[in-house]
Structure 1
Amino acid sequence: MKEKLVVIVGPTAVGKTKVGIELAKRLNGEIISGDSMQVYRKMDIGTAKVTVNEMDDIPHHLIDIKEPTEPFSVAEFKDLVQPLISSINEQGKLPFIVGGTGLYINSVIQNFNFANTPTDLQFREEMEQFVKEHGVEKLHHKLKDVDSVSYASIHPNNYRRVIRALEVIKRTGKTLSEYQQTQTTESPYDFVFIGLTMERDILYERINHRVDLMVEQGLIEEAKNLYKKGVRDCQSVQAIGYKEIYEYIEGKVSKEEAIETLKRNSRRYAKRQYTWFRNKANVHWFDMTDANFIKKITEIQHFIEGKLYNHSEIK
């Protein structure tokens, strides 16, 4: 018998956190964060980290486990998540991975083998130097002609993943997604892959409102505290929400320009998330636009039960 698992994905601001918690309450579940940024302590506002009140007594995992100066990789995510899935199943509960970091989530459900991943340390050093001399945008542009999927799905600021995509092409002759397909075996899980979607105009309004709310809640102060503590050339603050505010802190742009850039980058990120997840054939999509929330949650709940349980197993 394979271990059971529910995965909930979708673009930023679509409502994954709320949906995941409500379903976990109904289905005796625990939540594993599928967000590569919520692992970092002291980075709460800019990552839209779930609050204790929002958790509503549902256990959450992989939140606040790293210092902002520490790296975090997809391989480490997989190594941490798979034992958690086993532990939650052993307790007779249902694990939910909830988040928007597609590669991280896919590494778990498809059980990627990172031991065989090709590496080229000299190439990485060359690309790191290229970033210092020419910037992340020009590095990102290198992907455009050779790996359009990675170009669309990886943010320029996440330059280490851009380097990784270029490295895979150099070492294997395959794009990152093509190489991952060669690593894919039958999933070790009996899983349901739920995608949340929303009309784009409404989603973009929600994203803009979320950024305004983050600023009201103290995003700029949070970023200043990190900056003062020396958290600068680190993976954590390359993320959307911090990179833009750092430019304001360093006097490169005005506060208003930083906020508008953050909104724009967040909208673009949502589009890239859609691109990533839309290419996954096993995602079952639910439209959250103008939805009656309770009715929609009940619909998703029944779908999960129908996929994972015999009628006699449903509690």
Structure 2
Amino acid sequence: GDDGSAAGQTIQAPFEVWMDIVTGKDHPKSIKIHGIDLCNPDEDYSVSQWYSATTQIICQTKALPIVVGGTGMYVKSLLYPPDTLHIPINYPLRKRLATLSVNDLKFQLQQLSPLRLQNMNSSDQNNPRRLIRAIEVAQHLSSHKTKTTSQSKLALKALIIGINPPLDRYIYYQKIKQRVISRIENGAIAETASLIKKYSVNQKAFSALGYPLLIRYLTKKINKDELIEAWTQEELRYAKSQLLFFRTIPNITWFTHGEPMLLSKVEKIVKTWYDKDN
């Protein structure tokens, strides 16, 4: 609570205003969560902006900050902030690069920084936004003649806990599928229909998981069963890629969903860590 006890306040990887059900903001109302509703769907939002907002929250709160989620890159930037974090956005460059194909973007990055391209995982190498940011960073470093390094030491005192998915693949599939169905039942279709009346579907925010498929459903290109299955498969692929990314973050204590006494084990390790540092 506010007395600084281990009952902390939660910080989530960023979500846009109005994008609630599809992005999974349907959390218990009794839990105060920071880091949501940070921008509108038509606004750019970067890791650097989230890092600045989050570190400010951490410095201001008296409770124990608990960072949850979400996108591994955001979590890693908080724990091990790279020097590139504060390289500014180059809007004219982004506008020009936005017209290029993935292969053209790869070619440009290869010319600027072969090592940067080589160090990107397969998913990022096929993600236009990641490639554009990599080109932006490489071009900035080239013009400013500076070198960057990734921190190998934690920037914050932190206990990092990871939860592996259930070992039973069918249970894993069913849990994700039920989550998708729950979002649809809670109004994901109506939410998306309302959003596309206010904003262009070409906004970057509509590339978030679920929205492209919901838009296809609303334009009668797929039926509801196809929507559910395709959305479930997308979530499974994303979960796999995020799990792989989290494996690159050192010092994570891993548990497995469904293992005996899971909650007790997590509580014990948290209490031991908290008592030691406080």
TM-score interval w.r.t. the shorter chain? 0.7 to 0.9
- Partner AA of 1:275 in structure 2: L
**RMSD (CA atoms):** 3.2
Question: How high is the TM-score relative to the length of structure 2?
Answer: 0.80
CA deviation map 1:204-224 (0-9, x unaligned): 221112112222222111111
Question: How high is the TM-score relative to the length of structure 1?
Answer: 0.72
Write the mapping of 1:120-199 to structure 2, written as runs, cut at 5 A: 124-130=94-100, 134=101, 147=117, 150-154=120-124, 159-168=128-137, 182-184=149-151, 186-198=153-165, 199=167
CA deviation map 1:225-255 (0-9, x unaligned): 1111124221211100112111222344444
- Equivalent residue number for residue 79 of structure 1: 52
Write the mapping of 1:23-42 to structure 2, written as runs, cut at 5 A: 27-34=6-13, 36=14, 39-42=15-18
1:306 counterpart = 2:272: yes
Distance 1:264 1:139, change over 3 A: farther
1:287 to 251, 256, 260: 256
- Equivalent residue number for residue 73 of structure 2: 103
1:61 to 34, 40, 43: 34
Distance 1:116 1:216, change over 3 A: closer
- Equivalent residue number for residue 19 of structure 2: 43
Write the mapping of 1:240-251 to structure 2, written as runs, cut at 5 A: 240-251=209-220
Q: Which runs of 5+ in 1 are unaligned?
A: 1-25, 174-178
Distance 1:230 1:192, change over 3 A: same
Give % identity: 27
In 1, Cα distance between the equivalents of 2:225 and 2:270? Answer: 44
- Equivalent residue number for residue 19 of structure 1: none
In 2, Cα distance between the equivalents of 1:236 and 1:279? Answer: 26
In 1, Cα distance between the equivalents of 2:7 and 2:206? Answer: 35
* Structure 1 position 71, deviation (Å): 1.6
Distance 1:248 1:61, change over 3 A: same
Higher RCO (Cα < 8 Å, 6 or more apart): 1
Q: Which runs of 5+ in 2 are unaligned?
A: none
Q: Is the 8 A contact 1:139 1:162 kept in 2?
A: no
* Structure 1 position 302, deviation (Å): 1.4
* Structure 1 position 279, deviation (Å): 1.7
